[in-house]
Structure 1
Amino acid sequence: MKLKEDLNPMLLLLFHLMVSIYAIITFLPSYLLSWVFQPDVDFYGSEEERAKRAKARSVEGCPEGPYRAVSATKRLVTSLHPGVDTLDKVFEYAATRFPHRDCLGTREVISEEDEQQSNGKVFKKVVLGEYRWLSYQETLTAATQLGSGLASLGQRPKTNIAIFCETRAEWIIAAQACFMYNFPLVTLYSTLGGPAIAHGLNETQVTHIITSKELLETRLKAILIEVPRLQHIIVVENAPTTWPGYPRGIGIHNMAAVQKLGTRPENAARECKQPLPSDIAVIMYTSGSTGIPKGVMISHSNILAGITGMAERIPNLCEEDTYIGYLPLAHVLELSAELVCVSHGCRIGYSSPQTLADQSTKIKRGSKGDTSVLQPTLMAAVPEIMDRIYKNVMNKVEEMNCVQRTLFILAYNYKLEQLAKGYSTPLCDRLVFRKVRSLLGGRTRVLLSGGAPLSAATQRFMNVCFCCPVGQGYGLTETCGAGTISELWDYSTGRVGGPLVCCEIKLKDWVEGGYRSTDKPHPRGEVLIGGPNVTMGYYKKEAKNQEDFFVDENGQRWFCTGDIGEFQEDGCLKIIDRKKDLVKLQAGEYVSLGKVEAMLKNCPLIDNICAYANSDEIYVIGFVVPNQKHLLALAEQYGIRGSWEELCNSKAMEELVLKVITEAALTAQLERFEIPRKICLSPEPWTPETGLVTDAFKLKRKELKTRYQDDIERMYGGK
């Protein structure tokens, strides 16, 4: 998507002259050097040529599939290294190959202080130092000691243990301890509410839980009386040795103390009960976008197959790479990404969304965010975070003077043209985009996107300004996060690539929604994923297992995703709908709520949006979290005054925002019946803490409907 601006003709001529001279001077040397030093590197050609290259094909030649990656037509791949068939062996393999290399890194906290904002709110700000690293050997030793210590506290093999903790080095150490001693690990999001936490702990009957001091005091303490089986709480920090005010019969231990317990001769001599590939490694509770969270049972072999498929799509992955971990480790995307890195000896530096960049909310002005210090080469992100980066940078572009803005737009559009032809733009990268690229540390070479669809505008922006490919993927907890990842040389947008080498995909007709594998020009239908990465099913949910999983005549396990996809000529999958998001209006038109939201989220005035429709109504409505800067500018333009809450509750502002949204919808070529006719503005952002979105920032439609029930009735005329 090109950026538009009234460009100065003289600047335009000067810019094109400069890049033309540069291209002529550098072409021959760069061509010769690449031929001498990288003779085996493929030139993938223009976007048109890349789109013709086969990424997957139907094994049986049928339009419904199953489709497999071109490199996995004979068999599906199940493991990374020979003989490494469980997760404890993955880490042992890495520690043997890379014993002294950095493994897990945590930044030192130098100071903390409260900072009062102009609106009276107080935010905690931190100044952080350098990363402190544990080597692979030190991490393995810490995990071994912790596992032995947990066993001495009564934790038994094949008996569930829970982790309820933020993303940090101790999370992975605890997970490795559990893998090593065959303790199935129950993962719970740190943002889950009390009832959901109690449900997960009681359903899995855990007696031991690993958590942080903050989560113990703010979340767990209030529900301990509802979890009668719980006996031991292990706090990851160096916390107090006494804990007044907690129920009797519950022992609270520091993680360091449990590790020390594990070093005692009588405990250290205890042998690990090594898991089998078919044993449960993780019971991962979903973030609950549609109700009570479900626990997905994931075996060692499931995870190994999934990370094997993911690793194949990351070129040149090696011990020289640095990954930044900040997404929830209780989410399958982050856990899989970190295990991929561990299996290749990469180092993992930990962060959080509040400390990620220099401008992040918790970083004191003038000090450095985590990406600036760590300078990662690999990063996983959900579209919500990339959308924010895109909007923030484009806001900065709008604030530039005329000459700066013109040069930026010229460089942006020029690079888009060159990428389409298959060429790089080192001069633009160095002179124009270096400052933008430095927002993520300046060394990022691969960005993995998952959790939700990534808009074409945001993907193009990341390709251009961050000078690296974006591997857009598709997968679910039920498939270990594995399904598809686009080839990194494929810069096309709106697609999620072909199947990974660990699985295959077929389409199932959904007649009610009007999707069939016989559709022209592309076969369409519900996406079914099959292979060794498909999990064991939901914990204690047999009826749901029968509904969503099945085993075919060849003994292969399949999962029915509920998503609607279409396969394109080159074997790439495109997700075009979701069964649960499809609403039939009174006049008979089908509206895909997810499609409407994806199209409108690129509007600068919108930070977040939830489309809604009743099947007995004739139009769509929407709940909108407006962008504060753009809404205030719109209000000033029309002379409307008031506080932030007053503006969001203003009927006049609703009408103005609706007008902008309608124009954006028409530009995005939405049908008239898909465009929201009425909206309400929310002054509060939707975060996982509000319970209105999941930790992966997926909308919780049921909770949003409850929150805005009065507004729904108002927008539908009191019905």
Structure 2
Amino acid sequence: MDLSTVLLFPVHALVWLYSFISFLPWHFLTGAREKKAQAKRLKSKSTTGKEDGPYRSVDRFDSLVTVDFPGKDTLDKLFDHAVQRFGKADCLGTREVLSEENETQPSGKVFKKLILGEYKWLSYDELDVEISSFGSGLAALGQQPKSTIALFCETRAEWMITAQACFRRNFPLVTFYATLGEEAVVYGLNECGVTHLVTSSDLLETKLKSVLPQIPKLRHIIYVDRKTISTAGYPQNMQIHSMHSVQQLGAKPENLRSEIVKPIPSDLAVIMYTSGSTGRPKGVMIIHSNLIGGMAGQCERIPGLGPKDTYIAYLPLAHVLEMTAEISCVTYGCRIGYSSPQTLSDQSTKIKKGSKGDCTMLRPTLMAAVPEIMDRINKNVMSKVQEMNCVQRTLFKLAYDYKLEQIKKGYDAPLCNLVFKKVRALLGGNVRMMLSGGAPLSSATQRFMNICFCCPVGQGYGLTETCGAGTITEVADYSTGRVGAPLICCEIKLKDWVEGGYKKYDKPHPRGEILIGGPNVTMGYYRNDCSNNEDFYIDQNRQRWFCTGDIGEMHPDGCLQIVDRKKDLVKLQAGDYVSLGKVESALKNCPLIDNICAYANSDQNYVISFVVPNQKQLTALAHQKGIEGTWEQICNHPVMEREVLKAIKENATSTKLQRFEIPVMVHLSPDPWTPETGLVTDAFKLKRKELKNHYLNDIERMYGHK
């Protein structure tokens, strides 16, 4: 009998005794009974009594919510209201860069490492002054109300200052992801005909400078950094300004007193260019009332949102999830501390060893994340668990399994939370709620985050076309794999998709393409009438609807589950339909896999796959097999391909994939897929067309043509 087995007897006895003694007082003192009832309650129902809906939240069944605060029906009014309520309180925080160092890795690569100081804060009153002077400065440079202005910048305080200045003066904002390619940015800037652009010095020098001659209408470029840029090499018809100089210009009395044309609810607030998983980027037209309605629905699902909260901002602000989250935080008096994926934790790539990451310094209470980031956290923590000694590993597993059992019943296990204290510390140790969006979150990862970070992890479902609003799971809902009930600002109905085999009268639950309707549904795509007719429509009650292309299943309690996507469906030669997204979701939790793209040709009868392997796990497996070499050589070794394929088949069997859905060949990619590579979007969704082109030779090899 090994040591771990011997240890289990007294530990199990202690846990049983603790559960027996503490259950009743804990049950009554924490309101567990009420929480369980809340979790099981009916959350939405059909307004017609039919399976296809539309489904509405039971909390606002009679009418949809359009505003959160009466009379505050535009974004500038919302911000002014926040300044009146929270004037002296901290609003936006940025860490000071104390020094930068180049660090050479064992592989020979050189990484830039940062040593960062404390967070420096702008209060609401100070932010109000910055916004006023910048807006006045833009007007002094010739920016006109209702004329578009572009924002191409990383997530930082200056992004929000620019956005609020534009909302205040009715300058419709055109946003682009900082990782978007030059060709796509040029296309969007020319399509909107912008004359003014706000960006960072880094993006200006590395991405924009070479393509500026292709943007003939652009006249003014404002960079947000406090540094001086040489104007040599820029087109003569363009003026380069620093944000600080524009604010100084705007602070002049004659400019500060210039007339402000205020927006109305139906005015255009944002044209948000999506990075898009297919084709050219599309500009989604969002008016003020769309954003106001969408945020009203989102905020209702975050209990206690207010001045005691601190939100860590690191996702792209050009993504609707992050933009609405930050505007909502400002509205409710929360602090926003800026970060980046490279500085988020003590172990992040840009943090010098021994220095503190942003989560440790900020200790946020609220956090948003995309599933890709949560999956990485999950695998990193579990990898560390495998490195523990026998006793530590046994205790961790026991605590994990016990808490998992309790959470599935709708309870908690406070004693076990002590075991996860170090894991919680990775995100500052203070997070009370996490929200996942952008793509489906696997049940296993959601449970892991619930257990180890000791907080509810809600899934949200929405699109840029619906202002990120659609559904969010309630805090009390302890189920996994679902995205919750419709928000109080919108309603959802299902539409038959016969080709895919989904119908609204399916048993046991209705299924079909998800349609979202309400005040949060945007006005369509910029200069794209054809897409408007296909994707958007107005019903007999003058309500706008968006056809999402996602396939949903409505559960009896009124919660939605995403089960498929129309664009991910491929018909194999034998007539079987394969959902590529379903295959990827099932296989992503395989320990050897960091990312996977399933692929199928309609003239073939089997599925193939491209995999980004987990470097630590695959390298260890290679050593076991006696295979040495560089990381690239390990990935290209046929034995490693066979081992990953074996793991895929084992994982596919446990997740009950059909035989024809299981990939029969695999290519291992030594390079990760990041937004910078152009193979995934900023929300880490796969760009299938780009991946296909990138791996064309491997596709031909795996299908036997070469």
- 1:539 counterpart = 2:526: yes
- 1:411 counterpart = 2:399: yes
Distance 2:229 2:416 in 1: 57
Partner residue of 1:342?
A: 330
- 1:276 counterpart = 2:272: no
Distance 2:48 2:516 in 1: 16
Matched residue type, 1:610: C
* Contact kept? 1:51, 1:570, Cα under 8 Å: no
Indicate the SS of the match to 1:538.
coil
Distance 1:218 1:52 in 2: 53
- 1:564 counterpart = 2:556: no
Listed one character per residue, the Cα deviations across residues 354-382 of structure 1 (whole Å, up to 9, x for unaligned) are: 00000000000001000000000000000
Partner residue of 1:305?
A: 293
Distance 1:110 1:528 in 2: 50
Indicate the SS of the match to 1:288.
coil
Indicate the SS of the match to 1:243.
coil
Structure 1 unaligned segments of length 5 or more: list them. Answer: 36-40
Distance 2:513 2:11 in 1: 48
* Contact kept? 1:56, 1:571, Cα under 8 Å: yes
Partner residue of 2:462?
A: 475
Deviation at 1:21, TM superposition (A): 3.5
Residue number among 492, 503, 506 corresponding to 1:505 in the alignment: 492
Listed one character per residue, the Cα deviations across residues 645-678 of structure 1 (whole Å, up to 9, x for unaligned) are: 1121122221121111111111111111000000
Partner residue of 2:472?
A: 485
Deviation at 1:32, TM superposition (A): 6.6
Deviation at 1:129, TM superposition (A): 0.8
Correspondence 1:233-312 to 2 at 5 A? 233-240=221-228, 242-312=230-300
* Contact kept? 2:219, 2:237, Cα under 8 Å: yes
Matched residue type, 1:694: T
Deviation at 1:140, TM superposition (A): 1.2
Listed one character per residue, the Cα deviations across residues 532-563 of structure 1 (whole Å, up to 9, x for unaligned) are: 00000000001110110000000000000001
Number of residue pairs the alignment of both structures matches: 706
Distance 1:437 1:554 in 2: 48
Distance 1:457 1:7, change over 3 A: farther
Deviation at 1:423, TM superposition (A): 2.3
Deviation at 1:52, TM superposition (A): 3.7
Deviation at 1:67, TM superposition (A): 0.3
Distance 1:550 1:42, change over 3 A: farther
Distance 2:457 2:414 in 1: 18
Distance 2:209 2:97 in 1: 26
Partner residue of 2:605?
A: 618
Partner residue of 2:69?
A: 81
Distance 2:60 2:28 in 1: 34
Partner residue of 2:6?
A: 10
Distance 1:51 1:42, change over 3 A: closer
Deviation at 1:51, TM superposition (A): 5.8
Correspondence 1:694-709 to 2 at 5 A? 694-709=681-696
* Contact kept? 1:71, 1:501, Cα under 8 Å: yes
- 1:43 counterpart = 2:39: no
Distance 1:338 1:15 in 2: 45
Distance 1:658 1:398 in 2: 23
Correspondence 1:442-457 to 2 at 5 A? 442-457=429-444
Distance 1:424 1:581 in 2: 38
Matched residue type, 1:662: K
- 1:584 counterpart = 2:579: no
Partner residue of 1:67?
A: 55
Correspondence 1:65-464 to 2 at 5 A? 65-240=53-228, 242-430=230-418, 432-464=419-451
Residue number among 500, 504, 507 corresponding to 1:517 in the alignment: 504
Deviation at 1:31, TM superposition (A): 5.7
* Contact kept? 1:277, 1:299, Cα under 8 Å: yes
Deviation at 1:42, TM superposition (A): 6.7
Deviation at 1:574, TM superposition (A): 0.6
Residue number among 543, 560, 569 corresponding to 1:573 in the alignment: 560
TM-score of the two chains, using structure 1 as the length reference: 0.96
Indicate the SS of the match to 2:415.
helix
Listed one character per residue, the Cα deviations across residues 401-459 of structure 1 (whole Å, up to 9, x for unaligned) are: 111101000000111112123322221112x0000000000000010000001011100
Deviates more, 1:125-134 or 1:661-670: 661-670
Distance 2:216 2:110 in 1: 37
Deviates more, 1:75-84 or 1:49-58: 49-58
Identity %: 67
Matched residue type, 2:8: L
Partner residue of 2:656?
A: 669
Listed one character per residue, the Cα deviations across residues 46-97 of structure 1 (whole Å, up to 9, x for unaligned) are: xxx6664111101100100000011121000011101100000111111000
Listed one character per residue, the Cα deviations across residues 670-719 of structure 1 (whole Å, up to 9, x for unaligned) are: 11100000011111110001000011000000000000111111111108
Distance 1:131 1:656, change over 3 A: same
Indicate the SS of the match to 2:186.
helix
Matched residue type, 2:15: V
Indicate the SS of the match to 1:132.
strand
Matched residue type, 1:16: H
Partner residue of 1:635?
A: 622
- 1:595 counterpart = 2:582: yes
Residue number among 17, 20, 37 corresponding to 2:16 in the alignment: 20
Residue number among 658, 671, 690 corresponding to 2:645 in the alignment: 658
Distance 1:344 1:6 in 2: 55
Distance 2:478 2:35 in 1: 11
Indicate the SS of the match to 1:534.
coil
Deviates more, 1:167-176 or 1:664-673: 664-673
Matched residue type, 1:607: D
* Contact kept? 1:306, 1:533, Cα under 8 Å: yes
Matched residue type, 2:312: I
Distance 2:229 2:562 in 1: 52
Deviation at 1:9, TM superposition (A): 3.7
Distance 2:461 2:146 in 1: 31
Distance 1:216 1:196 in 2: 15
Q: CA RMSD in A?
A: 1.5
Partner residue of 1:38?
A: none
- 1:529 counterpart = 2:525: no
Q: Which runs of 4+ in 1 moved over 6 A?
A: none
Matched residue type, 1:403: V
Listed one character per residue, the Cα deviations across residues 501-526 of structure 1 (whole Å, up to 9, x for unaligned) are: 00000000111111110110011110
* Contact kept? 1:7, 1:406, Cα under 8 Å: no
Distance 2:691 2:282 in 1: 20
Listed one character per residue, the Cα deviations across residues 370-404 of structure 1 (whole Å, up to 9, x for unaligned) are: 00000000000000000000000000011111111
Matched residue type, 2:35: Y
Listed one character per residue, the Cα deviations across residues 627-658 of structure 1 (whole Å, up to 9, x for unaligned) are: 11111111111112222111211222211211
